[in-house]
A and B are shown apart, each in its own frame.
Chain A
Amino acid sequence: MKTSPRNGPPRFRHWPAALALSPVWAIALLLFVGTAGYTVYLSFTASRMMPVNEFVGFEHYIKLFGTRRWNTSLANMGILCVTYVLGCLVLGFLLAAALDRKVRFENTLRTIFLYPQAVSFVVTGLVWQWLMNPGLGIQAAVQGWGWESFTFDWTQHRGTAIYAVAIAGLWQGAGLTMILLLAGLRGIDHSLWQAARVEGIPLWRTYVSVILPELTPAIATAATLLFMGIVRTYDLIVAMTNGGPGSATELPAKFIMDNLFDRMNIGAATAGASVMLISVMAVIVPVLYIRALRKGGRKPV
């Protein structure tokens, strides 16, 4: 007796679709997993200018964490995670909430806020380099208006330079966060606002207790994107401070790029990249896992 596909177990039911998609899966696996795997592999070899297969174990990793510049890079990444990600979320949320109040010229304002996103990081970096240059930018301008004692030279000092970078990043990243959160806000049932208003719940309380919890997925998406942005940040640093003063604004991506191309040190670069891969996974995997758990646990309505 034949088993019709309808009666078969569900996982065999879609095999034509699975078959049709298999090249995509194969390519995806090869490209993403394959290259990532090769990167990790190289980090255990003596590769310098060209990839070689001679194994050196954890040598690159040991050296890596003994390198001041790499450790500074990691610390800077941590600083940006707090300042840049939180800053973008707060500013983006405030902008989104402001636009969501049905203001006039919403489209124009939205375009203005989103515009920095369309600008290349290189341009952003250069512009902010000028703005923050004490002799050319904001400091010079304000002093020129008569406030002689005004100083704004964050890029010039090791302690503050990374925050200057955070500000430039904030300028660029807040718009995207705003759009993501605005989309989230727009997806919220309008009658929720009305229900809260009928109950006499103050606006700020509505935001905090009702709207923000609803935005959690949008916030998580934005935070993940922003975090990934930091992991990838290279051009902004190169254009704005080139890692300086000293190594005060170095970031892992720049360390990796410099080692990969300029310093001809594939081993160190891939070791750094592998560390980043692991740290990204450490952030993403729990998020995905929790989501999967929630989905699986939710009862059908």
Chain B
Amino acid sequence: MKPFLPTTLALLLASGSAFAQEIEVSNSWVSGGEVAGKQVVIDALKARGYDWVDFSIAGYENEQAAFMARVQAGDPPGAKMYIIGPAAAELAEMDMLVPIEEPLAASGAAGAIPAMVAEKMQLSGKPYYAPISVHGESWVFYSKPVMAEIGYDEMPSDWDGFFAMLDAAKEAGYIPVAFSGQAWQTNKVFNQILLSLLGREAYSAMLSEADEEIVMSDAFLQAVDIFDRLHGYVGEGTAGMNWNDATAQVIRDEALLQFQGDWAKGEFLAADEAAGEDYGCAVNPGMGDMLVVVDSFAFPRKEGLQDAQYALAEVLLDPEVQRQFNLLKGSFPVRTDVDMSAFDICAQIGSQKMAEGAIAADMNLVLDRVVNGQIVDLINEFWAAPYDHEDFRADYLDALTY
């Protein structure tokens, strides 16, 4: 009884796609910049004779849930937006995804993709993700007027200097750190601090190998200290506050800075603020590496759809598509051979970091979602009610090896 419905549906859909050369694409891109960027891809795909059928749901988690429901019903869409990493590993292991060696070779992207990304594109030894854009996650966005008023013209390069600056902002009556208590936000801030103290190699090794020694290092403890110390610098009502409400505090020059990913640029843009003029972007103090996430697509195995899937993969890997897409979305291209002259200063810094290899993958790209979730829970518990830092370090190790 169970296979009956999905098979019928699959047949119906397969016959449908055979006529119209359609490929249904699951994604969570619904905001202004995302939709504009998506249109670039849709147009390029159309030029190759395939129609993009949009299956978009707001919120990555919601979209993920809807996608999984369709996979479990035996009727996946033809492509699915993913953050590269282990997210689709289980599907790849079960041979439910189409590897993309051919389009990867055809696009000539192989040499232009940074090593870290190239490695994370692979699952079980084959490339499955077609990456299109990179988001720098560990930015510090700051209000230039506030910065000027408290007598700074650039971001201090070490944490002591950083806290001195926060004190100055506090004294001047500003909220030093615009902070939103959303779980993923709190998590990002901690990781950002952690990366700045561990450096990209130790940080990545700690996550991918659950390295006890690194967790037990002084640098880790120092990161916890700094994270905890931020409690004294955040505004009121941070619990449950949305990240963009916090960004708005910086935009309104009420707060000095926010730890945020580069999607915050969209908020500044919407408020008519220009990068480098009204607000600045800096990589955090410390070792200067940047956390990144990479947006990509993977392709569920589906009868008769491989041509369309290959075509979409090639489009996604195309340098010009990547340039236009990222200009609109506010991120920067995965390919390091794209002309960056039209991009803003933040994207240029990001692209530069990437070319230098000074990037580390966000823990989403490395960790299993279950472990990932354990860590997010832990960090949020700690932020809500700080306790002994060494105990926290032990708990962190437990979560990492969950």
In the complex, A touching B (Cβ < 8 A): yes
Within residues 87 to 120 of chain A, which ones have a CB less than 8 A from any CB in chain B? none
Query: In the assembled complex, how far is the CB of residue B230 from the closest CB belonging to chain A, in whole angstroms?
Result: 14
Given contacts A153-B237, A261-B64, A262-B64, contact A245 B372 (CB under 8 A): no
Asked if residues A161 and B64 are in contact (CB atoms below 8 Å), the reply is no
A68 vs B68: C-alpha distance when bound (angstroms) = 27
Chain A residues engaging chain B, CB cutoff 8 angstroms: 48-51, 63, 67-69, 129, 133-136, 153, 155-156, 158, 161, 240-248, 258-265, 268
24 inter-chain pairs at a CB distance below 8 angstroms, sorted by A residue, are: A49-B90, A50-B91, A63-B402, A67-B374, A68-B381, A69-B381, A135-B235, A136-B237, A155-B239, A155-B240, A241-B239, A244-B182, A245-B380, A245-B384, A247-B380, A259-B370, A260-B65, A261-B64, A261-B68, A262-B65, A262-B373, A263-B372, A264-B90, A265-B373
How many Cβ-Cβ contacts under 8 Å join chain A to chain B? 96
Query: In the assembled complex, how far is the CB of residue B260 from the closest CB belonging to chain A, in whole angstroms?
Result: 18
Asked if residues A156 and B385 are in contact (CB atoms below 8 Å), the reply is no
Asked if residues B373 and A263 are in contact (CB atoms below 8 Å), the reply is yes
Q: Which residues of B contact A248 (CB under 8 A)?
A: 384
Q: What are the interface flags for B47-83 relative to A under an 8 Å C-beta threshold, 1 for contact and 0 otherwise?
A: 0000000000000010011001001100000000000
Asked if residues A262 and B369 are in contact (CB atoms below 8 Å), the reply is yes
A158 vs B386: C-alpha distance when bound (angstroms) = 11
A49 vs B87: C-alpha distance when bound (angstroms) = 9
B183 within 8 A of A: yes
B383 within 8 A of A: yes
Query: In the assembled complex, how far is the CB of residue B97 from the closest CB belonging to chain A, in whole angstroms?
Result: 12
Asked if residues A265 and B369 are in contact (CB atoms below 8 Å), the reply is yes
Interface centre among B72, B383, B385, B402 (most CB of A within 10 A): B385
Query: In the assembled complex, how far is the CB of residue A149 from the closest CB belonging to chain B, in whole angstroms?
Result: 15
Quick one: which of B68, B91, B373, B402 contacts A258, CB cutoff 8 A? B373
Quick one: which of A48, A136, A153 contacts B90, CB cutoff 8 A? A48
Q: Which residues of A contact B238 (CB under 8 A)?
A: 156
Quick one: which of B72, B183, B236 contacts A244, CB cutoff 8 A? B183
Query: In the assembled complex, how far is the CB of residue A41 from the closest CB belonging to chain B, in whole angstroms?
Result: 14
Smallest Cβ-Cβ distance to B66: which chain A residue: A261
Q: Which residues of B contact A51 (CB under 8 A)?
A: 72
Given contacts A262-B373, A268-B370, contact A49 B91 (CB under 8 A): yes
Total residues of chain B contacting the partner, CB 8 A = 33
A51 vs B377: C-alpha distance when bound (angstroms) = 24
Within residues 154 to 203 of chain B, which ones have a CB less than 8 A from any CB in chain A? 181-183
A155 vs B377: C-alpha distance when bound (angstroms) = 18
Asked if residues A262 and B61 are in contact (CB atoms below 8 Å), the reply is yes
Asked if residues A261 and B370 are in contact (CB atoms below 8 Å), the reply is no
Closest 3 CB pairs of A and B: A246-B384, A245-B384, A261-B65
B12 within 8 A of A: no
Asked if residues A264 and B239 are in contact (CB atoms below 8 Å), the reply is no
Quick one: which of A69, A133, A259, A263 contacts B240, CB cutoff 8 A? A133
B94 within 8 A of A: yes
Quick one: which of B71, B240, B377 contacts A240, CB cutoff 8 A? B240
Q: A245-B240, A246-B380 are in contact. List 16 more A-B contacts (CB 8 A).
A: A49-B68, A49-B91, A50-B90, A68-B381, A129-B240, A135-B235, A153-B236, A156-B236, A156-B237, A244-B380, A245-B380, A246-B381, A246-B382, A261-B65, A261-B68, A265-B373
Q: Which residues of B contact A133 (CB under 8 A)?
A: 237, 240-241
A134 vs B235: C-alpha distance when bound (angstroms) = 11
Q: Which residues of A contact B241 (CB under 8 A)?
A: 133
Q: Which residues of B contact A246 (CB under 8 A)?
A: 380-385
Query: In the assembled complex, how far is the CB of residue B368 from the closest CB belonging to chain A, in whole angstroms?
Result: 8
Asked if residues A156 and B64 are in contact (CB atoms below 8 Å), the reply is no
Q: Which residues of A contact B182 (CB under 8 A)?
A: 242, 244
A135 vs B384: C-alpha distance when bound (angstroms) = 18
Within residues 354 to 402 of chain B, which ones have a CB less than 8 A from any CB in chain A? 369-370, 372-374, 377, 380-385, 402
Given contacts A69-B377, A244-B183, A261-B65, contact A48 B370 (CB under 8 A): yes
Asked if residues B370 and A265 are in contact (CB atoms below 8 Å), the reply is yes
Q: Which residues of A contact B372 (CB under 8 A)?
A: 263
Smallest Cβ-Cβ distance to B241: which chain A residue: A133
